[in-house]
C-alpha cells in the first residue's frame, strides 16, 4: 500500500518511488512534492503524519524567489531599470556613500547592507520605517566590490523599490498580478481565513551552538527580534504581513505552479514573464568567496539552477538537529536530468536554488540522501517544488 497520497504520471514514477522510500525509511518524514512539466502538473504527492495536501507552512527564503517575480514584472513593465542607481528611485538611499549603488548591485547582494544595528521589530520589516532605517545605514564594505548574502534586508530593498516605482506594496502587487490570476497557493501575507491550514515550522537549535556576536556579519544578517530566524514563520505577525525575505507561506504545489506560470505558462497558456525577462533575471552577476559564503548570485537570487555546494551548509556545530526545508528550482529548457535536492534549513543563499527559480525544487530530509537523479526527460520546462520536515540523520 502506498505511503503517499496524490499522483505521479507514469514517466515520473521514479519520483514517487524515491518519495515512498523516504517515507518508508523514516517515520518522522513528512513532505509535499509537486512537479509541473511544460505547464501541466505531472506529480503531486503528500506523505507523512505532519502534512496533508491542504497544508501550508513557512518556506523561509523561497519567499525571496516569490518576491523576485514581482521585481521581474517591474523590469518587464519598464518601471525599474537594473542599471539605474537605487537612489534614482529612492533618494534617501544615497546616504553614507551609497549614491552609486545600482539596482542590479543591490539585488545581487552587493550593497553591503547585511543588517541593522539593534535590529527591527517583527512588525517593522515590511514598513516604510524599515526602509528609512536601512537608507540611513552605512554599508559594511565598498558597495559593488564584493557580495554577502542579505538574508533579511534584501526584502526591505525589494519592497521599497516596488513602493517607489509602482505606488503599491510588493505584497499587493504579487496578489493582484500573480497569486490571484494564476491560482497560486503561496502567500506573501496570509489571510486570517487561511490560518487553519498553517503547520508550524519545526526546529531544534543545537544547545552547543556558540555565542553569536550580534555586531558580527552573521549576527547582523539575522538580526530580528527572535531567538533564531528559524522561528520567523511561526509568528502570526510575520505571516500576516508577508515579509518578502523569509515570511512567505504556502504549499509545494503553489510554488511549482508559480514557477511554471512564470516560465512556461500553465496548460497551454503564455508565461507571464517574457523570454528576455527570464534571460535578464537569470544572468549570473557575481561568483566567488564573499564575506559570508562562497556562492553564485543572480538578481534577487535569480531564475536558475544552483548546483549543490557543500560549502553552503552550516558547520556541524551550528546546524539545527531538526529541520523543515523548502526549495524551488526552474529549468525552462531542461535538456538532461532532474534531480531532487534537499537543503538544510538556513543552509545557504535563498535556501538553495529558489528565487524565481522556475520550475524545480525540493526540501527536506538530508542532502546526501535526496540528491539523486530520478529520470531523463525531453527538452521541456519542468517545475518541481517540495516542502518537508525531517530530523537530522
The sign one gets for the Cα dihedral 328, 329, 332, 336 is negative
Per DSSP, the three-state class of 66 is helix
CA distance readout (Å), 160 to 56, 105, 154, 324: 27, 15, 10, 29
Count CB-CB contacts under 10 A for residue 88.
15
- pLDDT value at position 3? 94
Q: 75 with 141, same domain? A: yes
Q: Is residue 222 part of a domain?
A: no
- pLDDT value at position 282? 84
Q: 88 with 160, same domain? A: yes
Cβ(6)–Cβ(53) below 8 Å: yes
- pLDDT value at position 40? 94
Region 165-194 average pLDDT: 98
Strands 30-37 and 382-391: antiparallel
Q: 283 with 360, same domain? A: yes
Q: 57 with 155, same domain? A: no
107-138 residues labelled b (16+ CB within 10 A) or e (exposed):
bbbbbbbbbbeebbebbbbbbeebbebbbebe
- 34-48, 126-140, 175-189, 274-288: segment of lowest average pLDDT: 274-288
Q: Is residue 220 part of a domain?
A: no
Per DSSP, the three-state class of 236 is helix
Q: What is the pLDDT of residues 132-165, one digit of tens each?
A: 999 999 998 898 888 888 889 999 999 999 999 9
Q: 325 with 260, same domain? A: yes
At 217, the pLDDT band (50, 70, 90 cuts) reads: low
CA distance readout (Å), 133 to 71, 93, 153, 155: 22, 10, 11, 14
For the chain, strand residue ranges (E) read 4-8, 30-37, 40-47, 56-58, 186-187, 198-199, 249-250, 286-289, 294-297, 322-331, 337-340, 372-376, 382-391
Q: 297 with 379, same domain? A: yes
Alpha helical stretches, state H, the chain = 13-25, 62-76, 86-89, 103-106, 128-135, 153-166, 170-174, 180-182, 217-221, 236-241, 252-263, 275-282, 367-370
Q: 48 with 191, same domain? A: yes
CA dist 113 and 245 (Å) reads 14
Total tally of structural domains belonging to the chain: 2
Residues of the chain above pLDDT 70, percent: 66
At 28, the pLDDT band (50, 70, 90 cuts) reads: confident
Q: What is the pLDDT of residues 303-361, one digit of tens each?
A: 444 443 333 333 333 333 344 556 666 665 543 233 332 223 333 333 333 333 333 33
- pLDDT value at position 24? 94
Q: Is residue 97 part of a domain?
A: yes
In whole numbers, what is the pLDDT of the chain averaged over residues? 77
Q: 190 with 273, same domain? A: yes
Q: Which domain holds residue 140?
A: 70-173
CA angle 371, 375, 376 (to 5 degrees): 120
CA dist 157 and 22 (Å) reads 39
- pLDDT value at position 209? 59
Q: Is the pLDDT of residue 380 over 50?
A: no
Q: Is residue 218 part of a domain?
A: no
- pLDDT value at position 174? 98
CA dist 43 and 380 (Å) reads 15
Instruction: Write phi, then psi, for 321 (nearest 5 degrees).
Output: -80, -25
Q: What is the pLDDT of residues 221-280, one digit of tens each?
A: 666 666 677 788 999 999 999 999 999 999 999 999 999 999 999 999 999 999 999 999
> Crossing angle of helices 275-282/62-76, nearest 10°?
130
Q: 8 with 80, same domain? A: no
CA dist 250 and 210 (Å) reads 32
Q: 292 with 381, same domain? A: yes
At 368, the pLDDT band (50, 70, 90 cuts) reads: very low
Highest mean pLDDT among 30-34, 110-114, 183-187: 183-187
214's grid cell: 550580534
- pLDDT value at position 70? 97
Q: Is residue 219 part of a domain?
A: no
CA dist 174 and 166 (Å) reads 12
Distance of alpha carbon 275 from the chain centroid: 21
Chosen domain end from 150, 173, 196: 173
Q: What is the pLDDT of residues 40-76, one digit of tens each?
A: 999 999 999 989 999 999 998 899 999 999 999 999 9
Q: Of 304, 40, 69, 43, which is closest to residue 178 (Cα–Cα)?
A: 69
CA dist 270 and 248 (Å) reads 25
Strands 249-250 and 186-187: antiparallel
Count CB-CB contacts under 10 A for residue 209.
13
Distance of alpha carbon 342 from the chain centroid: 13
CATH no. for residue 381? 3.40.710.10
Q: 202 with 292, same domain? A: yes
Q: 291 with 360, same domain? A: yes
More confident residue, 243 or 369: 243
- pLDDT value at position 12? 94
CA angle 359, 53, 45 (to 5 degrees): 55
Q: Is the pLDDT of residue 386 over 80?
A: no
Amino acid at each position: 500500500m502506498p505511503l503517499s497520497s496524490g499522483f505521479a504520471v507514469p514517466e515520473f514514477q521514479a519520483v514517487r518511488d524515491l518519495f515512498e522510500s523516504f517515507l518508508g525509511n523514516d517515520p518522522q518524514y513528512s513532505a509535499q512534492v509537486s512537479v509541473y512539466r511544460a505547464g501541466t502538473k505531472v506529480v503531486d504527492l503528500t506523505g507523512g503524519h505532519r502534512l496533508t495536501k491542504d497544508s501550508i507552512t513557512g518556506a523561509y527564503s523561497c519567499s525571496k524567489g516569490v518576491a523576485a517575480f514581482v521585481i521581474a514584472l517591474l523590469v518587464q513593465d519598464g518601471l525599474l531599470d537594473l542599471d539605474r542607481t537605487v537612489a534614482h528611485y529612492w533618494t534617501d538611499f544615497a546616504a553614507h556613500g551609497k549614491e552609486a549603488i545600482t539596482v542590479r548591485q543591490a539585488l545581487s547582494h552587493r550593497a553591503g547592507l547585511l543588517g541593522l544595528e539593534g535590529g527591527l521589530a517583527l512588525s517593522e520589516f515590511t514598513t516604510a520605517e524599515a526602509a528609512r532605517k536601512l537608507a540611513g545605514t552605512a554599508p559594511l564594505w565598498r558597495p559593488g566590490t564584493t557580495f554577502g548574502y542579505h538574508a533579511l534586508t534584501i526584502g526591505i530593498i525589494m519592497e521599497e523599490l516596488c513602493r517607489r516605482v509602482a505606488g503599491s506594496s510588493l505584497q499587493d502587487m504579487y496578489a493582484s498580478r500573480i497569486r490571484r490570476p494564476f491560482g497560486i497557493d503561496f502567500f506573501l501575507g496570509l489571510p486570517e481565513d487561511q490560518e487553519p491550514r498553517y503547520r508550524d515550522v519545526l526546529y531544534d537549535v543545537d544547545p552547543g551552538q556558540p555565542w553569536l556576536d550580534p555586531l558580527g556579519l552573521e549576527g547582523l544578517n539575522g538580526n530580528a527580534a527572535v531567538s533564531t530566524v528559524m522561528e520567523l514563520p511561526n509568528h502570526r505577525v510575520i505571516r500576516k504581513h508577508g515579509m518578502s525575505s523569509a515570511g512567505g507561506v504556502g504549499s509545494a504545489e503553489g510554488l511549482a505552479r508559480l514557477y511554471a506560470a512564470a516560465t512556461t505558462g500553465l496548460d497551454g497558456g503564455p508565461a507571464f514573464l517574457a523570454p528576455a525577462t527570464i534571460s535578464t533575471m537569470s544572468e549570473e552577476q557575481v561568483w566567488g568567496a564573499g564575506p559570508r559564503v562562497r556562492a553564485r548570485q543572480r538578481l534577487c537570487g535569480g531564475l536558475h539552477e544552483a548546483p549543490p555546494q557543500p560549502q553552503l551548509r552550516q558547520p556541524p556545530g551550528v546546524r539545527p538537529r531538526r529541520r523543515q526545508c523548502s526549495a524551488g528550482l526552474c529549468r525552462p529548457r531542461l535538456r538532461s536530468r532532474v534531480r531532487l535536492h534537499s537543503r538544510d534549513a538556513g543552509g545557504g543563499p535563498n535556501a538553495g536554488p529558489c528565487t524565481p527559480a522556475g520550475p524545480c525544487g525540493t526540501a527536506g530530509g538530508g542532502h546526501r540522501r535526496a540528491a539523486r537523479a530520478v529520470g531523463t526527460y525531453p527538452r521541456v520546462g519542468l517545475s518541481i517544488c517540495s516542502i518537508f520536515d525531517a530530523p537530522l540523520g
